[in-house]
Amino acid sequence: MARKDLLELARLDRGEIDRILDQAVPFKELFTRSVKKVPALKGKSVLMLFYEPSTRTHSSFEVAAKRLSADVTNFDVPHSSVVKGESVRETVETLQAMRTDYIVVRHGRSGLPEMIARQTKASVINAGDGAHAHPTQGLLDAFTLKEVFPEPERKKVLIVGDVLHSRVARSTTNIFLRLGVEVAFLGPGSLLPKHGAEQVKRFTDYATAMAWGPDVVYLLRVQMERQDVQFFPSLREYHRVYGVTTQRLRELDDKGIWLMHPGPVNRGVELCDEAMDYHRSLINRQVENGIAVRMSVLYSLKPGGEE
């Protein structure tokens, strides 16, 4: 029986994860055809419910849904009655009346997508809730990693930045560990989680972390609009201590290390300008793969089914 919602990766079993990743391969192959669209979700409707700004995830889901021939409606939150004080529950009741088949939700509050999922027959996909989860990011990162390392067991990924407040770090770490990847964190001590997976090493110093021998350096985005800024002395300081500087880029190149970042990149903060053209950067591939993986997610969920 197919799953109704995708709320967090921890709830998927290994078989479900493998299936989503495996099916993303034929979806990606479609991108080279003259017609990139397939009729699998013809007549279905996808509602984009974004309470937080997002360009990448939003457009990635929108392209994915359209390539499956679904109709996409943007519930434009700032202009909707949310500003008039309508509660999320009332909004969902309205949406339910619209008989939408899939709802893609992003919200600053952890657990909100789940609340919506319980109230509606539509399939709900969590596109990021607070610091909790961002499951499709984890899936697309895993898919991208597996393209480079088809056998990812015991490969080493160093995740750099504000791990504590990052839902990307949470979801990506979850899936990487389940694929047998070794994960370590690098960041200011105050921004590394105290609890969580024991096998994850925690570094506060760049040189020590590099001595661990990562195959991939995964840079988290510094969230200017969120809480991060107050934890760092300055952006220039962050770049100096944790960023990929020109000098460190050469080290990555010498050691054959791959680079990942969920985007959008803050140039001069996480990455220096030259790193944007680094030949082992997977950042653009993450974007392309995000569409294929989200198509695979939409295709694998069944609205109205049982969780």
Q: Which residues bind another protein (CB under 8 A)?
A: 1-2, 19, 22-23, 25-27, 29, 33-35, 37-40, 68, 299-300, 302, 305
Neighbours of 140 (CB within 10 A): 30
Closest approach of another protein to the CB of residue 25, in Å = 6
Closest approach of another protein to the CB of residue 6, in Å = 14
Q: In degrees to the nearest 10, what's the CA dihedral of 143, 144, 149, 152?
A: -50
Closest approach of another protein to the CB of residue 291, in Å = 15
Collapsing DSSP states into helix, strand and coil, what is residue 168? Answer: helix
18: nearest Cα among 305, 296, 303 = 296
Q: Which residues are annotated as a binding site?
A: 56-57, 84, 106, 134, 137, 167, 221, 263-264
- Output 2 or 10, the one with its CB closest to another protein: 2
Closest approach of another protein to the CB of residue 34, in Å = 5
Collapsing DSSP states into helix, strand and coil, what is residue 153? Answer: coil
- Output 25 or 197, the one with its CB closest to another protein: 25
- Output 34 or 199, the one with its CB closest to another protein: 34
Q: In degrees to the nearest 10, what's the CA dihedral of 267, 270, 273, 274?
A: -160
Residue that is written with structure tokens 């999320």 in the block: 88
Provide long-range contacts, Cβ within 8 A and 24+ apart, for 229-232: 231/162, 231/188, 231/190, 231/191, 232/188
**In whole angstroms, what separates CA 109 from the centre of its chain?**
16
Closest approach of another protein to the CB of residue 38, in Å = 4
Q: Which residues are annotated as a binding site for L-aspartate?
A: 84, 167, 221
- Output 26 or 233, the one with its CB closest to another protein: 26
Query: Who's near 94: CB < 8 A, 6+ residues apart?
Result: none
Q: Which residues are annotated as a binding site for carbamoyl phosphate?
A: 56-57, 106, 134, 137, 263-264
Q: Are 167 and 129 in contact (CB under 8 A)?
A: yes
- Output 58 or 302, the one with its CB closest to another protein: 302
Closest approach of another protein to the CB of residue 28, in Å = 10
- Output 147 or 253, the one with its CB closest to another protein: 147
